[in-house]
Amino acid sequence: MIETLISFSVATLALAISPGPDNIYVLTQSLVNGTKSGIATTAGLISGCIVHTTLLAFGISAIITASDKIFYGIKVLGACYLLYLAYSVYKSDEHIHLSENAPKKSYVQLFKTGVIMNLVNPKVMIFFLAFFPGFLWDKEGNTILQFYVLGITFMIVSFITFSSIAMAAGKISSLLLKWKNMGVVLKWLQILVFVGIAVFILIP
């Protein structure tokens, strides 16, 4: 269990660091409106994960306990989706675009925006479905509890990482904008993370 949670935490950390719409949005809000705005946005984004974790736990647990073949099929589909994400990143633009015209909002508004961004994005649920099952450590045990442990771990690691991005917004943004190869490095980091997790999921 401990080894699995450590592996899961490392994978989550790598995903949280890799540039995506969520952490770029947090970075933008922090640059324009201050660190607290970035943390408020982060809190909203992470809170939405509770809903996705609940849907995943109660929707997939019964399937997992019903058939080994179906469970393995879910893992294969998850790995394929992660490989698709890796390919999408490979085909994407290497440049990182930061908006300096983010509208000013209250902390409550930013929190709500973060929650809505998370909940209305179907890719989040698909990603959870692809990512989480491969890290269950006891298929015969309480899978609902295991999904919640993974979900809470995901939220804690992501919150700490995104909040760190918010607090270091100035330095991070200047580095992203000044180092011309940063986009390429982060792009390939993201690809390696997706491919690595896909391989890990398929390992018996």
The answer to whether position 112 is within a domain reads yes
The sign of the dihedral angle between the CA atoms of 118, 189, 99, 164 is: positive
Kindly state the tokens that stand for 131: 């990512």
What is the domain range of residue 11?
2-96+106-202
Domains identified in the chain, total number = 1
Cβ proximity of 19 and 97 under 8 Å: no
80 in any annotated domain: yes
Whole-angstrom Cα distance, residue 130 to residue 11? 13
101 found inside a domain? no
pLDDT, tens digit only, all 204 positions of the chain: 888 899 899 988 888 887 677 777 787 778 777 888 889 989 999 998 898 889 888 877 667 666 777 777 877 887 888 788 788 878 866 665 555 555 667 889 889 988 888 887 667 777 888 888 888 888 778 888 999 999 999 999 999 999 998 888 766 666 665 666 666 766 677 677 778 878 877 776
User: Would you call 7 exposed, middle or buried from its count of C-beta atoms within 10 A (0-12, 13-18, 19+)?
Assistant: middle
